Structure 1
Amino acid sequence: MKKYIIMLAAALTLGSCADKLDITPPNNITDEQIQQLLASGNEESIRLVMGSMANNMPLMFNYAGTSGVGNADMYYSNQGMDMMRSLQGNDMVLGDVSGLSALVGAPEYGFDNFISANSNKNVVYWNYGWTCINQANKMLNFLSDPVVGINKFLMDYKARGLVVRAYGYNYLMENYQNAYLQGGNGKLGVMLYDMFSPTQPGKPRSTAAETYAFIKADLNNAIRLFTEAGIGHTADLTDIDLAVANFLLAKVSIWTGDWNTAITACNTILDKYPTLMSEAQYGGKNTGTATNPVYLPETNGFLNNASNPEVILGFPVGISKTYLNAYTNPFGEGNGGVLRNYKRIDNRLYEKIAANDYRKTCFMEKDFGDYTYPRNSTKAFIPAYTNTKFAATHGLGSTNKVEVGTVTCYYMRTSEVLLMKAEAQAQLNNAEEAKTTLNKLLAARTKTGTTALTCDTYPAMAGLSALQMVYLQTRIELWGEGGREFYNNKRWNIPVDRASSSNHIAKMTYPVANMTLQIPEDELLYNPLAVQN
C-alpha cells in the first residue's frame, strides 16, 4: 500500500507542490513519486518537494499541536510543556494566594501525579518527542547517502532532519530516564528507529549508552553535512544551521559528561555569537508611571529578537508561538496576568542576586499593587517577586494595551552557551578557566556605572566552588526559560525543597528519583517489546 507524506503544516505546501508538478492526485505526493523526482535529477522539482519538507523541520522546535491532554492549552505546545517543568522546581513560584486549584498549572506546581504510565501529564512529552522523530524520519527516508551524494542542498536538508531527530531523542531521554551521570548510564534508553514506516514492527529499548551514541552520531553527521555544503551559520534565525547543531551537541555532551566535546562545540558557537544582551535589552523596562506602567516589547530582548543579539534559534511575529509570554507576562490577560497566575521568583534565589546585577530588576522588589487589565477593566493585585523579565503592556508594533501578546520567541541563546562551557571547564577541574568564562557573563550583567562583577566579588558566590558558581549563575540567567531548572536539577541531583522559602505557596519537597517519567501505557500496550523503567 502506498504511503502518503503528510508533514504537519507542510501538507498544504506539498499539495501546492503537487499542483505545480502536475502530479495526480493533486493534493498528495506518494513515496514513489518523490523517489522518481529524486532520481530524475530535476533540480527545480527536487527543491520544490524536498524543500517543502526541510523548511518545516525548524518548526518542530516551535511547536503546537501536542496530543494527549484534551484541551489543556499548557500542554498543547512545547513552550507550555516547558512551563510545566519550570513550575516543578525551586525557583519559580506560582501565584500568591491559597486555593491553588483555581490556577492553571497548580497540579504541576503541587507535584500532582505526572510521572505514572497512565498520566495524561506524562504522555504529551512522549508524543512530542516522537512527533519530532517521526517527522524527521519521513524526510530522511528519501535522503540516503547515495541519493544525497555531493548535492549541497540535499546535504542541507538531510542535516536539518538529523538535527531534529537528535533533538527528539534527546528530549525523550531528558524526560524518560534518569540523568546519565546520576545512574542513567547503566539503564535503558528508548527505541531507536532510523526510518519511518507505519507498519514496521516495534523495537525494544536500546541502552542509554546506545541511545546517546545514536544522538551524537546524528549531530556529528549533521555538522559534517553543513560544513561540506558550506552552510555554516546563516543570517536567518529560523534556520537549523551549524550553530543549532553545535548547541544540541554541547547540550547532549554536558548531559553525558563529554566535557571536551562540549567546550569545542561551545567555542564554535561563541566565535559566531559573542555578543550578550545589554542592560537596556535585558527584560522589561517601565517607561510609563508607577500607576500606569508602559512595558514595550520592542526593547525587551526576551520578547523581540531584533533587540537580542544572543538569539541562535528564534522565530518572528506570525510564526512564533507566544504561549510562554502568555503564561509569564504579569500585564497580559492570559494565564500569567489577570487571573493572578503570576510567575514569581523564589525569594531565596532573588536574595542571592547581587545588588549591582541588573537581572535583579527583572523581578518586583515590592508589591506592584492593583493593575487594571484593559480588555474588561478588571483589577488584580500584582505581588512582590513577580517577574518583569517577560513583561509587556503592549504587543510589538502596537500602541493599544488590549493588543498585548504579539511577540517573537527564541529557543537557544548565547548566555546558555557560555554557561555550558563554564560547566564543562569546572567539571574538568579547570576552575580558573571556568571563572574566566563566567566573568564574561557577569561583566555583561553588571549595572551601568558600577564596577564589573566577577566570580571573586559576587557576594553570594563567596566560598563556592567553580561548579557551584555555575549552578547559581545558570539558575539566575535562565530563570523561566525552557524548563531548564527542572532538567538541571535532575542532572545535578538537586531535589526540590521549598520549605524555607517565604513566598512559595506550595512548600513541597520532591526527590530527584521521581523526576523520571514512566514509559506511557499505550507504548507498553502496542509494543510488546517495550519494558517499563
Structure 2
Amino acid sequence: MKKLLILSMSLLVLTGCSKDFLDTKPESTITDEQLATSADANQAIIAGVYSALRSFGLSNSASHEDYGHKSILVATDMMSNDMLMTKSSWYASFYNYLGRVQTNSRAKLAWSIYYPQIKTVNTVINIIPAKTDNAKLNAQRGQALALRGYFYFMLARMYGPTYVGNEAKLSVPLYTEVVYVGKARSTVAQVYTQIQADLEESVELLEGFQRKNKDGLDQSIAQAFLADVYLEMGKYPQAADLAHKARQNYTLLSKDDWNNGFYDMTTGNETMWGATITEAQSSFVASFFGHFDNTNGQGYAGGLQVYKNIDKNLYESISDTDYRKAAFVSPTTGNATYPSLPAYANTKFRDKTTTAGDYIYMRSAALYYIEAEALARSGNEGSAKQVLYDITVTRDPAYVLSTKTGAALINEIILQKRIELWGEGYAWFDMKRLHVGLTRDYPGTNHPAFGKLNIPATDNRFIFQVPQAEVDANPLIVQSPL
C-alpha cells in the first residue's frame, strides 16, 4: 500500500513565484489548521473524489475496463449467473473468474480505484473536527465518511468473505489515517465495525444537507449505503428501517422512463446517485455504454458483437406481462427495432447520445428489495409482501400480492431484484451473501463455452485475491487461497 496511501497532510496550490524564496509560510500553502476551517478547500477535495469515480485509467491506463466505479459494478455482475457475453473480449477475465487471481491485472482494478480515494477522504475526515458548529464542514465530513464506509464495503465484499459466520476471517487492510507503511489485513468484524461507524456518523452529519446535484451524496445515499451494510450483517430491522427512510423522496420510474435506456440521470426521479458524463469527459469505447450498449455500432458490444445478454433461465422467469422482459431480445419474436441482435441480448442500456451517457450508480428501486427482504427476515412477512407488491405492480400490472411465506417469499423478492437490477451491480454480491453457487452449465444454457462454469457457493473463487503489486510492496499481507 506504500504507493497508494502516501499523501501529504497539506495541499499545495500553485501560484506565482515570490521574491522571498525562504518564506517559511508561503502563501501557496494551505496548512492543516486552515484546511480544518476551509469549507471550500474540503469541498474541492470531495469533488475530486466524485470525479475520480467516473475517470478512465486509474488502475491501468491501457485497460478499457478501467473507467471507475461503474466498471466495478458491472464487472462483478459479469461474474454472476445472470449475465453473459457472446465473445471473449474485455470483461472475459471477470466472466470466467480468472480476473480474481493475484497475478491477473483485473485483481487490482477495485483495489486501485477505491484505496486512493480512501486516502483522499481520510485527509478530510482527519482534518475536520468530529463536532463543529459549521454546517458546511459537518456536511463535508459526512460525505467523506459515507464515501469511506462505502468504499470499504465494496472492498470487503470483493476481497473477503461474507460477514455472517466469518467475522474472525481476514478481510482487507484498514487505513483511517494517512500512513507511510502498509498494514496487515483486518478481520471481517473489524472492517465492518469501521464501515458501520463511518456510515452511522455520516447519516447524522448529513441531516438537512442539500446537495447541488446527484453526482454527490446526501443523507439518503448514506442511509441507502447503511441499509445495504445492515442487510449484509444480518441486522434486518435496522436494514428495513433505513431502506424505507432512504427512498422517501424518490419516485419509481414510469414504463416509458424505465425503457429509456438508463443513460440520463435526470429521467424521472428514481436515480439516487450517479455521474454526469459530458462529451468532454467521455472515454468513448472505454466506457460502460461502449461495453454494454448492444445497440451502439461504434462500441465493443454493438460494433464488435461482444453482446452482453441475459441468462436464459432468468429471462424465462420474467412474466410475459412484465414490461421489463422487453428489455431483452425475445428468442421467438426477436426485436423489430434492432433485428440484428441475437436472442437474449439486452436493450436495457442504450446511450442515445452515443458518447455522453450518464453513469447511474444507484436507484431507489434497490431499496424496495432491501426493505422487503429485511422485513421478511424480521418476521414481518405481511409488510414485506406489500413493499414487494408496491414496486412489482408498477413493472407488471398483472402482478398480485404474494401469498408465499418463509424461504419461498425471500426467493421471490430476490428474483424480482435480479430482474429489476440486472446489470447494475447487485447480482454477484447477493449470490455471495445468500450462498448461491454459480450455475451456468445446465441443459439448454445460453452461456458460451468459455464462461460455462459451475462453482459451489463455498468455493475460494468467490473471493478476490490481494493483487500481486500489493503483496510485493506489503510484507504483512496474508494472501487468500487460490
State the TM-score, normalized to the length of structure 2: 0.87
Instruction: Name the SS for the 1:475 alignment partner.
Output: helix
> What residue number does 1:496 align with?
438
The code of the aligned residue for 2:34 comes to L
Find out whether 1:217 has 2:211 as its counterpart: no
> What residue number does 2:409 align with?
466
Whole-Å Cα distance in 1 between the matches of residues 437 and 7 of structure 2? 50
The code of the aligned residue for 1:426 comes to A
Q: 1:91 to 1:29 in 2, by over 3 A?
A: farther
Whole-Å Cα distance in 2 between the matches of residues 175 and 363 of structure 1? 28
> What residue number does 1:194 align with?
176
Provide, for residues 10-46 of structure 1, a one-character-per-residue CA deviation record: whole Å limited to 9, x for no partner. x9xx54xx57xx9999xx999973324247x6xxxx2
Q: 1:189 to 1:408 in 2, by over 3 A?
A: same
> What residue number does 1:415 align with?
365
**Match for residue 313 of structure 1 among 273, 294, 298:** 273
Deviation at 1:216, TM superposition (A): 0.7
> What residue number does 1:132 align with?
117
Find out whether 1:170 has 2:153 as its counterpart: yes
Whole-Å Cα distance in 1 between the matches of residues 103 and 45 of structure 2? 33
Find out whether 1:93 has 2:89 as its counterpart: no
Does structure 1 conserve the Cα–Cα contact (< 8 Å) formed by 2:75 and 2:94?
A: yes
Gaps of 5+ in 1: 284-299, 373-379, 396-403
Instruction: Name the SS for the 1:308 alignment partner.
Output: coil
Provide, for residues 333-370 of structure 1, a one-character-per-residue CA deviation record: whole Å limited to 9, x for no partner. 21211111111111111111111111111111147589
Find out whether 1:477 has 2:459 as its counterpart: no
Instruction: Name the SS for the 1:412 alignment partner.
Output: strand
Does structure 2 conserve the Cα–Cα contact (< 8 Å) formed by 1:259 and 1:427?
A: yes
> What residue number does 1:270 align with?
247
> What residue number does 1:287 align with?
none
Instruction: Name the SS for the 2:367 alignment partner.
Output: helix
Whole-Å Cα distance in 1 between the matches of residues 185 and 20 of structure 2? 40
Provide, for residues 477-528 of structure 1, a one-character-per-residue CA deviation record: whole Å limited to 9, x for no partner. 110112x211111111111111224322132212332110122233333223
Whole-Å Cα distance in 2 between the matches of residues 23 and 245 of structure 1? 47
What is the aligned length? 461
> What residue number does 1:47 align with?
39
Find out whether 1:237 has 2:214 as its counterpart: yes
Q: 1:29 to 1:303 in 2, by over 3 A?
A: farther
Q: 1:127 to 1:467 in 2, by over 3 A?
A: same
Instruction: Name the SS for the 1:473 alignment partner.
Output: helix
Does structure 2 conserve the Cα–Cα contact (< 8 Å) formed by 1:34 and 1:49?
A: no
Whole-Å Cα distance in 1 between the matches of residues 79 and 342 of structure 2? 21
**Match for residue 360 of structure 1 among 309, 325, 329:** 325
> What residue number does 1:386 align with?
345
> What residue number does 1:377 align with?
none
Q: 1:429 to 1:368 in 2, by over 3 A?
A: same
Does structure 1 conserve the Cα–Cα contact (< 8 Å) formed by 2:93 and 2:106?
A: no
Instruction: Name the SS for the 1:411 alignment partner.
Output: strand
Q: 1:425 to 1:369 in 2, by over 3 A?
A: closer
Higher relative contact order (CA 8 A, sep 6+): 2
The code of the aligned residue for 1:420 comes to I
Within 5 Å, give how 1:332-351 maps onto structure 2: 332=296, 333-351=298-316
Whole-Å Cα distance in 2 between the matches of residues 174 and 31 of structure 1? 41
> What residue number does 2:106 align with?
121
> What residue number does 1:288 align with?
none
The code of the aligned residue for 2:199 comes to L
Q: Which moved more, 1:521-530 or 1:383-392?
A: 521-530
Provide, for residues 89-109 of structure 1, a one-character-per-residue CA deviation record: whole Å limited to 9, x for no partner. 2111212xxxx44x3323332
Does structure 2 conserve the Cα–Cα contact (< 8 Å) formed by 1:73 and 1:80?
A: no
> What residue number does 2:65 align with?
74
Whole-Å Cα distance in 1 between the matches of residues 152 and 407 of structure 2? 34
> What residue number does 1:157 align with?
140
> What residue number does 1:110 align with?
96
Q: Which moved more, 1:489-498 or 1:77-86?
A: 77-86
> What residue number does 2:234 align with?
257
Whole-Å Cα distance in 2 between the matches of residues 247 and 24 of structure 1? 50
Deviation at 1:409, TM superposition (A): 2.1
Whole-Å Cα distance in 1 between the matches of residues 222 and 51 of structure 2? 15
Whole-Å Cα distance in 2 between the matches of residues 272 and 151 of structure 1? 26
**Match for residue 294 of structure 2 among 320, 330, 333:** 330
Deviation at 1:134, TM superposition (A): 0.9
Deviation at 1:235, TM superposition (A): 6.0
Does structure 2 conserve the Cα–Cα contact (< 8 Å) formed by 1:426 and 1:467?
A: yes
Q: 1:208 to 1:464 in 2, by over 3 A?
A: closer
Provide, for residues 291-319 of structure 1, a one-character-per-residue CA deviation record: whole Å limited to 9, x for no partner. xxxxxxxxx16112222311111233426
Whole-Å Cα distance in 1 between the matches of residues 169 and 370 of structure 2? 25
Q: 1:489 to 1:207 in 2, by over 3 A?
A: same
Does structure 2 conserve the Cα–Cα contact (< 8 Å) formed by 1:66 and 1:77?
A: yes
Find out whether 1:436 has 2:396 as its counterpart: no
Deviation at 1:129, TM superposition (A): 2.2
Gaps of 5+ in 2: 1-5
Provide, for residues 60-98 of structure 1, a one-character-per-residue CA deviation record: whole Å limited to 9, x for no partner. 54343331x451211343322332222212111212xxx
Does structure 1 conserve the Cα–Cα contact (< 8 Å) formed by 2:216 and 2:273?
A: yes
**Match for residue 206 of structure 1 among 177, 186, 191:** 186
**Match for residue 8 of structure 2 among 3, 20, 24:** 3
Deviation at 1:156, TM superposition (A): 1.1
Instruction: Name the SS for the 2:148 alignment partner.
Output: helix
Q: 1:32 to 1:224 in 2, by over 3 A?
A: farther
Does structure 1 conserve the Cα–Cα contact (< 8 Å) formed by 2:310 and 2:345?
A: yes
Identical aligned residues as a percent: 27
Q: Please, what is the CA RMSD of the aligned residues? A: 3.1
Q: 1:369 to 1:150 in 2, by over 3 A?
A: closer
Does structure 1 conserve the Cα–Cα contact (< 8 Å) formed by 2:81 and 2:440?
A: yes
Provide, for residues 369-401 of structure 1, a one-character-per-residue CA deviation record: whole Å limited to 9, x for no partner. 8999xxxxxxx9420111111134x41xxxxxx
